[in-house]
Amino acid sequence: MTAESDVPEDFPRDYFLGGVSGFQPKLLARQIDGRFVVGPTLDEVRERWSWVEEKAQQLAEDTLEGMRIGEIRFLRGHYHSLERGILAAGWDITPKERAWLIERVSQLVDAQADGASG
């Protein structure tokens, strides 16, 4: 299991959003082990982050391979294509997680490219 400190601070944690009709404000909560919990638990955040991080690692490897063989020449356009591909794949991922994923792929690719040229 991943330690809590392994989950980056900027990783989205608000994927249990919803709305309930009515005039008075309401909180959406779940009962877990006799306690009401609003938002994701630490275990749920770790699980989501682990899955998204794994996808980011895979997509970064694919991006680097595409660059190596010349299929990818312009990263900005590639990241837009990557986002469209994620949407088309139908992954169960929130818009904020998708944005984090694309940024993480960019970081991983940049780190590899800097390491290769340095």
Q: How far is CA 6 from CA 11, 14, 41, 53, 55, in A?
A: 11, 18, 15, 11, 16
Q: What pLDDT sits at residue 66? A: 92
Q: What pLDDT sits at residue 1? A: 46
Based on the number of CB atoms within 10 Å of its own CB, is 61 exposed (0-12), middle (13-18) or buried (19 or more)?
A: middle
Contact 63, 37 (CB under 8 A): no
Q: What pLDDT sits at residue 12? A: 92
Q: How far is CA 87 from CA 72, 80, 98, 107, in A?
A: 20, 11, 9, 21
pLDDT in tens, the chain (118 residues): 455 568 999 999 876 656 677 788 777 788 889 998 888 888 989 999 999 999 999 999 999 999 888 888 888 888 999 999 999 999 989 999 999 999 999 999 999 877 665 5
Q: What pLDDT sits at residue 72? A: 81
Q: Write out the two tokens for 97.
A: 């997680």
Q: Which of 2, 19, 20 is nearest to 11 (CA)?
A: 2
Q: Write out the two tokens for 7.
A: 């989950």
Paired with 35 in beta bridges are 32
